[in-house]
Structure 1
Amino acid sequence: MRALVLILALLPGAVHAGGLGAARTLPAGSVIGAGDLRVVDTDRPGLTDPSAAIGMQTRITIYEGRPLHANMLQAPRVVGRNQIVRLRFQRGGLRIDTEGRAMSDGAAGELIRVMNMGSRSTVTAQVLPDGTLAVLN
């Protein structure tokens, strides 16, 4: 085990105090994959676990070599602002499906405001993983 630690310490680009960084410039809105990450040597604390970054979406542009921090990332957006979406209202045996316009971006599980296209009223809905919105009120 000590030999492995010594070998890792002697490799070029080895981390003495560091974490994960961008392997290339990642524009805002990019979904991070394993190939987008590399180990960087930095004295600023940041993410060290790749599973915390892979599959997340960048909030800002992250330049190559810059350490990743949790506040730079967000859950991937399933619904975009002004997107026409399917609204679903269900209570007991009653189910109503209609179209709506998202008033903001939304990731799966988030609550967003949506304008019902038929009645022009605004409702709160939860974003489902498939992009459908479940009306809450």
Structure 2
Amino acid sequence: MKLLLLALILPWPAFADALVATRLIRPAEVLRAVDVEVQRGSQPGVASDPMQVVGLEARVAIYPGRPVRLADLGPAAVVERNETVVMIYRQGGLTILSEGRALGRAALGDSVTVMNSTSRQSVQARVTSFGQVEVGGMLAP
């Protein structure tokens, strides 16, 4: 009887699902539903639902059969390194557009260094859309 009572009081391990890769996923690849499958067994930091990872970008290589860790994923980049971007500066009613070159990759809302094509000055900008960044007064953290 004491053994049964002890078994009811002690915590039991929770069995949940974990996602594993079905193929080699290279860094900077965007995950699709066919790239992962559900397996029994829970691990800390591992995604459990395919909808958690679909559309995210791999930050590192994920090998077939290995768990898909949420820390290894991030938002997909919308600006690539060396891509020509439109730099937008807005202050009050003034809007200035200029062309620049992204010096790194960045996702929507991320900060990226951009070199102005005309002046060759580098500035920090925030990605607002595909191929568009915003510079200047709107960059408050």
1:42/1:66 Cα in 2 relative to 1: closer, same or farther (>3 Å)?
farther
Q: Partner amino acid for 1:82? A: N
Corresponding residue for residue 20 of structure 2:
21
> What do residues 44-87 of structure 1 show as CA deviations (whole Å, max 9, x unaligned)?
43111222211100111111111110111111011112222111
CA distance in 2, matches of 1:33, 1:91: 40
Deviation at 1:93, TM superposition (A): 2.2
Aligned equivalent of 2:100: 100
Match of 1:39 in 2: 38
* Cα displacement (A) at 1:28: 1.4
CA distance in 2, matches of 1:129, 1:51: 23
Q: Does 1:52 align with 2:52?
A: yes
**1:66 is the counterpart of 2:46:** no
Query: What are structure 2's unaligned runs of at least 5 residues?
Result: 1-14
Q: How many pairs are equivalent?
A: 122
Q: CA RMSD in A?
A: 1.7
C-alpha contact 2:18 2:42 (8 A) present in aligned 1: no
Percent of aligned pairs sharing the same letter: 36
TM-score between the two structures when normalised by the length of structure 2: 0.78
Which residue matches 2:7? none
| AA of the residue aligned to 1:129 | S
Helix, strand or coil: the match of 1:128?
strand
Given that 1:40 and 1:65 are in contact with CA atoms closer than 8 Å, whether structure 2 keeps it comes out as no
Alignment of 1:113-124 (within 5 A): 113-124=113-124
Distance (Å, rounded) in 2 between the aligned partners of 1:65 and 1:85 = 38
Question: Residue by residue, what CA displacement relative to the aligned partner does 1:73-111 show, whole Å, maximum 9, x if unpaired?
Answer: 111011112222111111122211111111211100011
What residue is the counterpart of 2:9 in the other structure? none
Please state how far the C-alpha of 1:40 moved relative to its aligned partner.
2.4
